[in-house]
């Protein structure tokens, strides 16, 4: 087949006429592919030869006439057909028309006329093919782009939708065609119907946001724009392009939240540091006063008949002291909750026994449930989790407190709280479920935000859930809340299992020893408090790291060195490093008192240094225990 000359197949059963036609066409420069005498033959030839045009007689041999053959040809190889016939009756013409021929020429035909018919048919066919290809290209492009595209006619009825639009609306193109766009789109505020607006205003409506609520699927946030489709000044309809931005919005929100948390963390670490020193003084002194008062009361009771006034005064002082102790503990808890925000985190990851943490949290909150609900506990046997046990306890306490606060007091039998734990895949899942007031979608959406509270009037700080979330995320876990306004809430925490570690050897319980303790702290009050706690030991107190070093230089030796971390001049970190270099024996006996990881340097130090540490505000007993520990392990065998 020549690539330039158009190729023609002649279907004509009269041999002489066919030959004559072949000659004429060849003379005009066309390539005649062959002569077919019947419809069947024409079909057989057309398939492999792919003619550019078929000249078709209508009355031909065989079962198929020319019109039937043309119809089959059109479907098989899309070759344009020009009828060349002696029949001009209405009925034949009507039948022929239905096969969409490119020409209908009556025999006999002049060469020039035949040529112009053939040329026009070839031209028309080429144009149509190009148009079809362009159309196919456009619709493939529209179908393939990731953004959703939907078009409507002037009446606002759907004329086209691509795959992305089908997915977002949950409606298939075939079902959508001809239906009003607002029905297909299921926008939550149809008043802002963008396509109708674009049509009515005759101009593009750009980038708006709307909520799509396809039936049976979750709501999605989309950004969309709509424009009228105008051709030659005439509006044909409108097109809307939209995309799902739900994930993007969520990520943005996460980012905003973590930004806010980061600055909160810095502030909280500063506050914690400032509060912890005076708090340590309060806790320690209050314990000391308690001891003194107890002794005084005991001796009053054992001696002469007591002076009634003095006894009452001492008892009242003891009561007041107990209240100071409780309040100081509350401040301590608040500070340590605030510090949970602080980055970097100074506390070790640790592991937790879930059942023990659950039991502790239930005990700690039992008062809250007395008049409110019956608490059921369904804790299955689960492996230890990768979270510090006291932190897990704190998380559970927060969740239980929230559950209690969501329940009205007075009907404890009608209300339930369930605390459950079980293995969920590889992780441990903890659930606190209540049948309380529940949350509206807006509250649920913001419940984990720091300082978001609906209980400001009752003293809520809005830190409970955000602290939980921080603690759980830091342990590599996840939190989620589910709630229905009026019927209750379920808060879930997933935690990774702890990596298997060898059980630590049981603690030794040696007899208490007396030792020589060097205390280094720039705060006079802290020094005095420590003196009271460690009064069984021989204490040497200094106000700076330099003074401590000069004592060591003078040859003084200590069984325990207790030092503050942040001090003017030389810090506790620097002192420890100096000890490691020059007095390694003393470095082994070094205990650092920390008020929280204030800076990245401190956090790194705390994470890597091998010395013992005590967090401020510390408990009397804790400090005594650690000092005993150092005395025991550093004692000569």
Ligand X SMILES: Nc1ncnc2c1ncn2[C@@H]1O[C@H](COP(=O)(O)OP(=O)(O)OP(=O)(O)O)[C@@H](O)[C@H]1O
Residues that bind Mg ion (CB under 5 A): 402, 464
CB of 434 to Mg ion, least distance (A): 12
325 binds ligand X (CB under 6 A): no
Distance CA 386, CA 391 (A): 11
477 binds ligand X (CB under 6 A): no
Name the closest residue to Mg ion (Cβ): 464
416 binds ligand X (CB under 6 A): no
Q: Using the rule CB under 6 A, which residue among 437, 493, 545, 597 binds ligand X? A: 437
Distance CA 186, CA 211 (A): 9
Distance CA 122, CA 134 (A): 18
Joined tokens for residue 590: 């070094």
Q: Using the rule CB under 6 A, which residue among 85, 415, 489, 628 binds ligand X? A: 489
Q: Using the rule CB under 6 A, which residue among 35, 148, 463, 495 binds ligand X? A: 463
Contact 451, 410 (CB under 8 A): no
Distances (CA, A) of 576 to 520, 544, 605: 12, 13, 10
Beta partners for residue 614, in sequence order:
593
Pick 449 or 547: Cβ nearer ligand X: 449
Distances (CA, A) of 211 to 169, 200, 208, 249: 11, 22, 10, 12
Q: From Mg ion, ligand X, none, which one binds at residue 198 (CB under 5 to 8 Å depending on kind)?
A: none
- Alpha-carbon dihedral angle through residues 462, 465, 468, 473, given to the nearest 10 degrees: -110
443 binds ligand X (CB under 6 A): yes
Site for ligand X, residues 231 to 250, rule: CB under 6 A: none
334 binds ligand X (CB under 6 A): no
Site for ligand X, residues 382 to 411, rule: CB under 6 A: 398, 402-403, 406
Q: From Mg ion, ligand X, none, which one binds at residue 253 (CB under 5 to 8 Å depending on kind)?
A: none
Pick 492 or 528: Cβ nearer ligand X: 492
Distance CA 281, CA 238 (A): 74
Site for ligand X, residues 87 to 106, rule: CB under 6 A: none
Closest CA to 229 of 127, 149, 167: 149
Joined tokens for residue 140: 């493939």
452 binds ligand X (CB under 6 A): yes
Distances (CA, A) of 10 to 117, 216, 468, 549: 15, 60, 86, 114
Angle of the 66-77 helix axis to the 39-49 helix axis, nearest 10:
20
CB of 545 to Mg ion, least distance (A): 41
Pick 67 or 468: Cβ nearer ligand X: 468
455 binds ligand X (CB under 6 A): yes
Contact 156, 180 (CB under 8 A): yes
364 binds ligand X (CB under 6 A): no
CB of 454 to ligand X, least distance (A): 3
Judging by DSSP bridges, how do beta strands 538-542 and 516-520 pair with one another?
parallel
Contact 634, 559 (CB under 8 A): yes
Q: Which range binds ligand X by CB under 6 A, 51-59, 116-124, 266-274, 437-445? A: 437-445
The vertex-297 CA angle with 293 and 303, nearest 5°, equals 145
Pick 141 or 327: Cβ nearer ligand X: 327
418 binds ligand X (CB under 6 A): no
DSSP letters, 584-617, are HHHHTTEEEEES---SHHHHHHHHH--SEEEESS
Beta partners for residue 294, in sequence order:
none
CB of 331 to ligand X, least distance (A): 14
**What are the b/e assignments for 598-623, b being 16+ CB within 10 Å?**
beeebbebbeebebbbbbbbbbbeeb
336 binds ligand X (CB under 6 A): no
572 binds ligand X (CB under 6 A): no
176 binds ligand X (CB under 6 A): no
Contact 612, 626 (CB under 8 A): yes
DSSP code of residue 497: B
465 binds ligand X (CB under 6 A): yes
CB of 492 to ligand X, least distance (A): 12
333 binds ligand X (CB under 6 A): no
Residues sharing a CB contact under 8 Å with residue 563, sequence separation 6 or more, in sequence order:
519, 520, 521, 545, 548, 572, 575, 576, 590, 591, 592, 593
365 binds ligand X (CB under 6 A): no
436 binds ligand X (CB under 6 A): yes
Name the closest residue to ligand X (Cβ): 464
Distance CA 628, CA 383 (A): 33
466 binds ligand X (CB under 6 A): yes
Site for ligand X, residues 114 to 173, rule: CB under 6 A: none
* The total number of residues written for the chain in this structure: 637
199 binds ligand X (CB under 6 A): no
Judging by DSSP bridges, how do beta strands 427-434 and 416-424 pair with one another?
antiparallel
Question: Residue 32, SS3?
Answer: strand
Q: Which range binds ligand X by CB under 6 A, 44-52, 186-194, 226-234, 459-467? A: 459-467
Joined tokens for residue 521: 């702290």
Pick 92 or 402: Cβ nearer Mg ion: 402
Q: Which range binds ligand X by CB under 6 A, 109-117, 305-313, 432-440, 556-564? A: 432-440
70 binds ligand X (CB under 6 A): no
Pick 470 or 521: Cβ nearer Mg ion: 470
Q: Using the rule CB under 6 A, which residue among 12, 244, 434, 559 binds ligand X? A: 434
Q: From Mg ion, ligand X, none, which one binds at residue 594 (CB under 5 to 8 Å depending on kind)?
A: none
CB of 614 to Mg ion, least distance (A): 29
Q: Using the rule CB under 6 A, which residue among 7, 22, 277, 453 binds ligand X? A: 453
Q: Which range binds ligand X by CB under 6 A, 217-225, 263-271, 298-306, 430-438? A: 430-438
462 binds ligand X (CB under 6 A): yes
Pick 225 or 405: Cβ nearer ligand X: 405
Q: From ligand X, Mg ion, none, which one binds at residue 461 (CB under 5 to 8 Å depending on kind)?
A: ligand X
Residues contributing to the site for ligand X (CB under 6 A): 398, 402-403, 406, 434, 436-439, 443, 447, 452-455, 460-466, 489
């Amino acid at each position: 087949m020549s690539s330039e000359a158009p190729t023609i197949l002649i279907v004509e059963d009269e041999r002489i006429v066919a030959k004559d036609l072949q000659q004429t066409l060849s003379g005009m420069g066309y390539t005649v592919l062959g002569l077919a005498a019947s419809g069947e033959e024409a079909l057989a030839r057309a398939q492999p030869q792919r003619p550019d045009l078929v000249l078709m007689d209508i009355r031909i041999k065989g079962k198929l006439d020319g019109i039937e053959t043309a119809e089959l040809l059109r479907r098989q190889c899309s070759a344009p057909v020009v009828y060349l016939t002696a029949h001009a009756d209405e009925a034949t013409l009507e039948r022929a028309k239905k096969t969409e021929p490119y020409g209908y020429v009556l025999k006999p035909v002049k060469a020039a006329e035949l040529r112009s018919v053939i040329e026009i048919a070839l031209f028309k066919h080429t144009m149509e093919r190009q148009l079809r290809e362009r159309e196919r290209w456009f619709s493939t492009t529209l179908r393939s782009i990731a953004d959703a595209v939907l078009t409507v006619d002037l009446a606002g009825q759907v004329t086209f939708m691509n795959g992305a639009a089908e997915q977002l609306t949950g409606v298939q193109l075939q079902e959508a065609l001809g239906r009003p766009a607002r029905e297909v789109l299921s926008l939550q505020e149809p008043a802002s119907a963008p396509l109708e607006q674009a049509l009515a205003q005759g101009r593009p409506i750009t980038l708006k946001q709307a909520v799509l609520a396809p039936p049976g699927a979750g709501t999605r946030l989309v950004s969309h724009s709509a424009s009228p489709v105008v051709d030659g000044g005439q509006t044909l309809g409108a097109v809307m392009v939209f995309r799902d931005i739900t994930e993007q919005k969520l990520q943005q929100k996460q980012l905003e939240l973590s930004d806010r948390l980061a600055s909160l963390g810095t502030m909280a670490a500063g506050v914690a540091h400032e509060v912890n020193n005076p708090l340590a003084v309060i806790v320690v002194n209050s314990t000391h006063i308690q001891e003194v008062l107890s002794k005084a009361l005991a001796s009053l009771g054992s001696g002469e008949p007591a002076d009634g006034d003095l006894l009452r005064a001492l008892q009242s002082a003891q009561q007041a002291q107990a209240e100071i102790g409780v309040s100081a503990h509350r401040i301590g808890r608040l500070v340590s909750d605030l510090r949970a925000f602080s980055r970097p985190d100074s506390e070790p990851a640790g592991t937790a026994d879930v059942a023990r943490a659950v039991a502790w949290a239930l005990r700690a909150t039992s008062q809250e449930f007395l008049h409110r609900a019956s608490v059921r506990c369904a804790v299955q046997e689960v492996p230890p989790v990768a979270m510090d046990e006291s932190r897990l306890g704190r998380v559970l306490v927060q969740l239980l407190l929230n559950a209690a606060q969501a329940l009205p007091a007075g009907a404890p039998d009608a209300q339930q709280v369930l605390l459950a734990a079980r293995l969920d895949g590889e992780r441990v899942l903890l659930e606190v479920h209540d049948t309380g007031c529940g949350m509206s979608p807006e509250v649920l959406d913001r419940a984990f935000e720091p300082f978001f509270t609906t209980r400001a009037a009752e003293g809520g700080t809005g830190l409970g859930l955000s602290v939980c979330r921080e603690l759980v995320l830091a342990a590599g876990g996840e939190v989620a809340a589910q709630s229905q306004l009026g019927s209750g809430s379920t808060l879930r925490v997933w935690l990774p299992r702890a990596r298997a570690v060898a059980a630590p050897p049981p603690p030794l319980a040696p007899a208490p020893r007396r030792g020589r303790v060097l205390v280094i702290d720039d705060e006079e009050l802290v020094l005095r408090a420590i003196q009271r706690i460690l009064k069984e030991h021989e204490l040497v107190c200094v106000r700076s790291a330099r003074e401590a070093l000069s004592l060591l230089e003078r040859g003084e030796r200590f069984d325990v060195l207790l030092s503050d971390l942040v001090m003017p001049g030389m810090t506790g970190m620097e002192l420890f490093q100096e000890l490691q270099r020059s007095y390694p024996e003393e470095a082994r006996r070094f205990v650092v008192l920390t008020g929280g990881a204030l800076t990245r340097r401190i956090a790194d130090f705390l994470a890597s240094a091998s010395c013992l540490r005590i967090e401020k505000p510390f408990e009397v007993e804790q400090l005594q225990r650690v000092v005993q520990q150092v005395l025991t392990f550093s004692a000569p065998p």
